[in-house]
Structure 1
Amino acid sequence: MKYCHLWLLIPGGWLLTALMQMITTPALAQTANFGTISLSVGFEPSQGKVSGYMGGSYSLSTMSNRDRDQKACIGFADPNPDHIMILEKDFEKLKILVNSGGYDTTLFIKGPNEETVRCGDDTGRSKDASVSDKDWKKGTYRIWVGTFNPGVKHNYTLTIEQN
């Protein structure tokens, strides 16, 4: 038994590598910094509004450099998602918008089943981010509201709209 732990000390050991990845990669959290929102088709506009504060030093591009449409995924946020959105049915179209009063924000949305990534940055002339897309499958989505620069913190309102 005294030799069991020696392989942990061997440079390049597979377990050491795996442990380091677990330590430096955020877990796919089951909880969010600012809660969970559940939506069904035909939801009231007030049900699609949540708020929080953005910011952090975790680079969102480490989770994915590009989304499903090859848009760049950028920004900095907390390693845990800010919101969890549960879609109780498939949605043909959704639009997710950040209102931070004009600060430079980004969006990173992952789900369902961690398979689909959607990213957003500036919306038109606004520095606030948005994602407008079709084919939202039933399931759980993790949403990060990021900032263009690390360590910046500002309040925001996140609005989810049916198109």
Structure 2
Amino acid sequence: MLRRMVGGAFILGIVASIGLAVSPAIAQSNFGSLTLAPGFSANEGTAQGRTGGNTSLPASVAERDRNGDLCLGYGSATPDYLLNLTAGFEQLTLRVNGGGTTLIVQGPGGVLCGDGQVSASGWAAGEYQVWVGTGSPGERSNYTLRVSE
């Protein structure tokens, strides 16, 4: 047993020394990112995507948001978008067109959930992960995500 631990430590030391196991995870999304600063244009705050997946978003992201509201929907385990705010915002609203879509936003201020819309005050600068979901597993739908001040 001691021999395995020493050998395992030796291999781990080699992997760490060549940089394979020590680099931090890089955030990824399905459709890209939006980087917004105060006063952004409508075009800068608009993105297209295709929702759908079999992952229960409440089980993989959050069951309830910071206000105690239920988070609902099915989608991808990977966020659909990364929303990068270069500064804080007094107020932001994220809307997804079409019925039957859910929205989960996770970032510096916690989690916010909504039925196709999330609106809140006090958005801190930083990166937010955005999931667009559907009411049933495997449903697919094209959508437009709009962010407004």
State TM-score, norm by structure 1. Answer: 0.75
Contact 1:29 1:80 in 2 (8 A): no
Say if 2:93 is the partner of 1:106: no
The aligned runs of 1:97-136 (5 Å cut-off) are: 97-100=95-98, 102=99, 104-112=100-108, 116-121=110-115, 129-136=116-123
3-state SS of 1:45 partner: coil
The 5-angstrom pairing of residues 34-53 of structure 1 reads: 34-53=31-50
Report the number of matched residues: 129
Change (3 A) 1:151 1:3: farther
The C-alpha deviation readout for 1:91-129, integer Å capped at 9, x for no partner, is 0000000013x3x000010002xx5000001xxxxxxx1
Q: Which runs of 4+ in 1 moved over 4 A?
A: 2-5
Distance 1:151 1:89, change over 3 A: same
**Which SS does the other structure have where 1:47 is aligned?**
coil
| TM-score with structure 2 setting the length | 0.82
Percent same amino acid among aligned pairs? 40
How does 1:36-75 map onto structure 2 within 5 Å?
36-62=33-59, 63-75=61-73
Question: What is the alpha-carbon distance in structure 1 between the residues aligned to residue 103 and residue 83 of structure 2?
Answer: 13
- Asked if the contact 1:56–1:152 (Cα under 8 Å) also holds between the matched residues in 2, the reply is yes
Higher-Rg member (1/2):
2
The one-letter amino acid of 2:105's match is I
User: Over aligned residue pairs, what C-alpha RMSD do you find?
Assistant: 1.6
The alignment partner of 2:44 has SS state of helix
Contact 1:93 1:132 in 2 (8 A): yes
| Unpaired segments ≥5 residues, structure 1 | 6-27, 122-128
For residues 75 and 26 of structure 2, the distance between their equivalents in structure 1, rounded to whole angstroms, comes to: 14
How far apart are the structure 2 equivalents of 1:4 and 1:99?
56
